[in-house]
Amino acid sequence: MSTTATTAPRTAPLAPRRRRRLKPGWLVLNTNVVLTFLFLYAPILILVIFSFNASRQQAVWVGFTIEWYEQMMRDERVIAAAKNSLIIALVSTAVSTVIGTLTALALDRFRFRAKTAFEGAMYLPIIVPEIVMAISLLVFFNTTFTLLDRWLGLTLKFGLGTITIAHIAFSFPFVAVVVRARLADFDRTLEQAAQDLGANEWQTFRYVTLPLLMPGILAGALLAFTLSIDDFVITFFNAGIGATTLPLEIYGRIRRGITPEVNALSAVLLLASIALVLGSVLLQRRR
């Protein structure tokens, strides 16, 4: 069996292999690919490499160490910032996943007035420059807090709360986009089949619609989490005093010069982001 299987293709006439010719177009395209990858990933690679460098100096490789990672783990400010980041990411992800999914369902299922306008407005946070979003949120919170103080005597401050709300605002459209993509090729006859078999609207949603949308919803959630955990600009503007997240902490340290701890911290953030994005892609691919 195995011998015939291996020899058969050899005896069969081979299709003439297309010879790779060095055309100018081919050269340009390949150089382009190589340069793009270098440009994109070399800095990241350098950062990760130097996070293991046994020297405080950046440019020279001395030897391998995980000292900076150990130091990072012992650093109370880093731990506090990481805790803040996680709390904000978890809460904002949970809320924006629910809002985003419901928005996607509403846009897919219902026809209502100004639907197109609503849809356009919803995608705005994806398109608008982050700095504009950051400042508009800052102004919004400021105004709201001033008015609340004046009318109700309620004193509210910037902090984890404002950061979380800001993160929900910019991440739920991403969830909505991902879930809508999933809804686009959703077979509505499955819902009809469920109803035909005696499932009411809620049961149909619970046992058929939701499980089938779940990969999309989870992918959206992972995306929201990634966006939240490494957001700098919007967080920076809406953090107030005392509420520090990991990106803010890194920025604070970099102002005093690049240290290996910062490299280590960035490497950890990078790893977490890659893992989450990869998870999101895998989930979206699942049918």
Q: Which residues contact other proteins by CB under 8 A?
A: 187, 189-190, 192-200, 203, 207-208, 211-212, 287
Find the helix packing angle between 76-109 and 210-229, rounded to 10°.
140
Q: Is the Cβ of residue 157 or residue 286 nearer to other proteins in the bound state?
A: 286
DSSP string, 227-256: HHHT--HHHHHH--SS---HHHHHHHHHTT
Shortest distance in whole angstroms from residue 85 CB to other proteins: 34
Cβ of residue 218: shortest distance to other proteins, in angstroms? Answer: 14
Compute the least distance from the CB of residue 186 to other proteins, in Å: 11
> Nearest CA to 164 among 212, 112, 225?
225
Q: Closer to other proteins at the Cβ: 6 or 189? A: 189
Q: In residues, how long is the chain?
A: 287
Phi first, then psi, for residue 90 (nearest 5°) are -65, -50
Would you say 208 or 227 has its CB closer to other proteins?
A: 208
**Is-contact 44 270, C-beta < 8 A?**
yes
Q: In angstroms, give the least distance from the CB of 52 to other proteins.
A: 44
Residues near 226 by Cβ (< 8 Å), separated by ≥ 6? 273, 276, 277, 280
Complex with other proteins: residue 162 or 209, whichever CB lies closer: 209
